[in-house]
Structure 1
Amino acid sequence: MNQSRQLTDGALLTVIFMILMMIAIFVPVITLITVFLLPVPFIMFASRYDWKPAAIMLIAASILSALLTSILSLPLPIAMGLGGIMVGSAIYHKLSAYETLARGTIGFVVGLVFIFVFSQYVFQVNLVNELNNMFEQSITMSRDVLDQLGMEKLTEEQMTMLIEQFGMLTDLLPVIIAITALLLAFVSQWVSYKVISRLDNKQLQFPPFRMMQLPVSLIWIYFFSLIMTFFGLDQDGMIYLAVNNILMLVGILMALQGFSFIFYYAHVKQMSKALPIGSVVLTIILPFIFLYLVRLLGIIDLGFSLRDRISDDKK
C-alpha cells in the first residue's frame, strides 16, 4: 500500500513539476515567480519519503524535460531538484528550520554550479565571458545614448573605470551564486512549509527572525578574511578572489545578524515595529552608511552575547 502511494505521489508531483517548468519556459511574464515554485514538488516528495525515492523522481523529471522541451532545459530540473531534495530530506529528518535552510542552500549552490559547468562543457558557452560582454555592450550603448542626447561624452578613463567596476561583479560570482541559492532555498522552503502544513497536517514554520543566531565562528572567519586584505594580494590571483568572496558573503551574514538583533531588541523592550522595519528601509536607501553600522552590530551581538545581556537586564 505504501509503495503504491509512493508511486502515485511521485507521478502526480512529477506532472506538477513539468507543468510549472513549462510555464517557466514558455510564459516569460511569470518566469521569476514560477522558478521559486519549481523545487516545491521535490520538497514535498522528499519530505514524505526521504532522498532516495526523490532522486528517482529527479531522474524521471530530467528525462521528461529533455524529451518534452529540449536538452537545453536539462540543467533546470537538476538544479531545482537538488535543492528541493536537500530541503525535503531535512524536513523528513525533522531538522530545525534554519538547519533545513542551510542544507537547501548547499543543494541549490551545487545545482547552480552545475548550470555553469553544463553550459561551459556541453554548449561551449562561458557565462562569465558572456556577462562581461553584456556589461561592455551596455556601457557602449549608454555612451551612444548620451551622444545622441547631446550630453557630455564619457572619457576613455571613465569608460575603463566603469568596465573595471562591472568586472568586479564577475569576480564576486561565487557570492552572487550563494545569495541566489539562499534566496531560492528560503522562498521554496517557506512555500513548502505552508503547503505541507495544510496537506499533511504538520506544524512547520520558520521561527521569528529575531531568534536567528549564527555560529560565533563566523566572526573569526570574517576577521581573518579582513586581515588578509591588508597583505597586498595579487588582484588576478585565486587567493584574492577567494578572500573577497568570503568577506562579502560573511559580511552579508553579519548584517542579517545585526537586523535580527534589532528585531530582538525591539521585541524585548516592547518597542514599536517601526524601529526594526525603519532600520531595514534606511539600510536599503543609504547602504553606504547604515549597512556598515548594522554589520558592526551583528558582530558585537555574536561576539559579546548582547541578547543574553538584554535578557539579564530585563530580569
Structure 2
Amino acid sequence: MKFSFKSAVWSVVYLLLLLSLLTPLSVLAIFFMMIPGVILFASLPVKSFIWHLVPVAIILVVFSPIYLLLLLLFTLPAIIMGNAYKKKKSALFALMAGSGAMLAEYLLLLLIGSVIFQFDLSSYIDDVVRLTIEPLTNTSSQMVNGFVWTPEMTQDVARQTQLMIPFALVVTSLVMALITHLIARPILKVMGVVVPKFPPAREWRMPRALIWYYFLALLFEVISRQSDGTYWTMIAVNLSPLINLGFMIQAIGFFFFLSHAKKWNPVVPYLLAAAVFFIGPLRIIGIIDLAFPLREAISKPKR
C-alpha cells in the first residue's frame, strides 16, 4: 500500500472538514470539501485511497453516524473529479464532471428527504425567510427607518427564494468544483501529479447555441407572465441567470482577447472582468461576440 506523510495529512484535513459540517463553519467549509478527496484519489492507487478513508470513517462513526453519509456525499464527486485527472482529461471536463456529480447528489438528497423523511423544502425555506426578515417587521424599527415591511413582501421573498433553488444548486456545485480545481491542481503538481490547467482566458468561448437558448429563455419568460402556474415561472427564473452567466464568461474572454491583441496593460482585462459582474449591460459584449466574428475581425491583419 502506498503511504506517505503528505497523504496522511490530507486524510486528517478531510476528517476535520467533515467534522466542521455540523458547526457554524459549515457555510464556508462546504466549498472546500472535495479538495482532500480529489488530492487523495488523484495521487494514490485505488486500494491505498480506500485504506486512507477507513480510519476517517471509523473516527466519524464515533462522533455520529450521519458523518458517514456526509463522507459518502463528498467522496463520490471527488472520485469522479480525481479520476478525470488520472485519465489526463481537460480541466473543463474535470470541472463539469465534478460539478455534475455534486449537483446529482444534491437532487438525490432532496428526493430522498422528501419521499422517505417527508422533508418539505418549501416550508423550510419559508420559515428561514420569515425568521431572517422578522427584524424588518418589528414596529419600532419601522418607525425609526420610516419603512414598512408587509407580510406580502415576506411571502414574495420566500416564493422567489423557492423558485431559485435549482439555480442556487447549479451555481454552488460549479463553485465547489472550481475552487477544488484551483486549489488541488498546484498541490497535485507539487506531489508529482500533472493536472491540466484551464486554457488562457483570451481563449474562453461559449457554444454559439447559447444565443438560441437565450431566445428560448425569453420565450419561457413570456409564457410565465401569461400563466398562473409556477412550472414555467421556475424555468424562466432559473434559465435566464444561467444563460446570462454564460454571456458574462464570453464577455470576459473577449476582454482578455482584446487586451492581448492590443497589448494593453495586463491589469486592464482584470478590471473589465470585475466590471462585468457589477455592470449588467456589459454582458451584451458577450452576446455580440457570440453572434458576430468580432475576434476574427480584430485579429485580421491590416493591409
Alignment TM-score > 0.5, same fold: yes
Indicate conservation of the 8 Å contact 2:3/2:48, yes or no. Answer: no
Aligned to 1:18: 15
Code of the residue aligned with 1:256 in structure 2: it is: I
For the pair 1:144 / 2:138, whether they are aligned, the reply is yes
Residue 72 of structure 1 and its aligned partner are, at CA, apart by 3.5
Structure with greater contact order relative to length (CA < 8 Å, sep ≥ 6): 2
Indicate conservation of the 8 Å contact 2:2/2:48, yes or no. Answer: no
Moved more, 241-250 or 117-126: 117-126
Indicate conservation of the 8 Å contact 2:251/2:286, yes or no. Answer: yes
Q: Which of 286, 289, 298 does residue 298 from structure 1 map onto?
A: 286
Moved more, 66-75 or 36-45: 66-75
Secondary structure in 1 matching 2:206: coil
For the pair 1:67 / 2:67, whether they are aligned, the reply is no
How has the CA–CA distance of structure 1 residues 73 and 234 changed in structure 2, closer, same or farther, with 3 Å as cutoff? farther
Aligned to 1:36: 31
Code of the residue aligned with 1:244 in structure 2: it is: V
Indicate conservation of the 8 Å contact 2:91/2:198, yes or no. Answer: yes
Code of the residue aligned with 1:218 in structure 2: it is: L
Instruction: Give CA-to-partner distance per residue, 1:156-182, whole Å, 9 cap, x none.
Output: 4xx413531342121011011100111
How has the CA–CA distance of structure 1 residues 304 and 14 changed in structure 2, closer, same or farther, with 3 Å as cutoff? same
Code of the residue aligned with 1:36 in structure 2: it is: F
Secondary structure in 1 matching 2:77: helix
Aligned to 1:199: 191
For the pair 1:98 / 2:92, whether they are aligned, the reply is yes
For the pair 1:127 / 2:154, whether they are aligned, the reply is no
Residue 134 of structure 1 and its aligned partner are, at CA, apart by 1.4
How has the CA–CA distance of structure 1 residues 215 and 58 changed in structure 2, closer, same or farther, with 3 Å as cutoff? farther
**What is the CA–CA distance in structure 2 between the aligned matches of 1:161 and 1:105, rounded to whole Å?**
34
The percent identity for this pair of structures is 20
Indicate conservation of the 8 Å contact 1:105/1:185, yes or no. Answer: yes
Gaps of 5+ in 2: none
TM-score calculated relative to the size of structure 2: 0.83
Aligned to 2:252: 259
How has the CA–CA distance of structure 1 residues 305 and 210 changed in structure 2, closer, same or farther, with 3 Å as cutoff? same
Gaps of 5+ in 1: none
Indicate conservation of the 8 Å contact 1:212/1:257, yes or no. Answer: yes
Indicate conservation of the 8 Å contact 1:225/1:243, yes or no. Answer: yes
Indicate conservation of the 8 Å contact 1:75/1:114, yes or no. Answer: no
Aligned to 2:272: 279
**What is the CA–CA distance in structure 1 between the aligned matches of 2:236 and 2:268, rounded to whole Å?**
34
Moved more, 99-108 or 304-313: 304-313
Aligned to 2:78: 84
Aligned to 1:169: 161
Indicate conservation of the 8 Å contact 1:233/1:239, yes or no. Answer: no
Q: Which of 230, 234, 237 does residue 241 from structure 1 map onto?
A: 234
How has the CA–CA distance of structure 1 residues 66 and 262 changed in structure 2, closer, same or farther, with 3 Å as cutoff? same
Residue 281 of structure 1 and its aligned partner are, at CA, apart by 4.0
Q: Which of 220, 224, 230 does residue 228 from structure 1 map onto?
A: 220
Indicate conservation of the 8 Å contact 1:109/1:177, yes or no. Answer: yes
Residue 106 of structure 1 and its aligned partner are, at CA, apart by 0.3
Indicate conservation of the 8 Å contact 2:77/2:99, yes or no. Answer: yes
Q: How many equivalent residue pairs? A: 302
Moved more, 293-302 or 66-75: 66-75
Instruction: Give CA-to-partner distance per residue, 1:180-207, whole Å, 9 cap, x none.
Output: 1110000011111011100015264333
Secondary structure in 2 matching 1:150: helix
Indicate conservation of the 8 Å contact 1:258/1:298, yes or no. Answer: yes
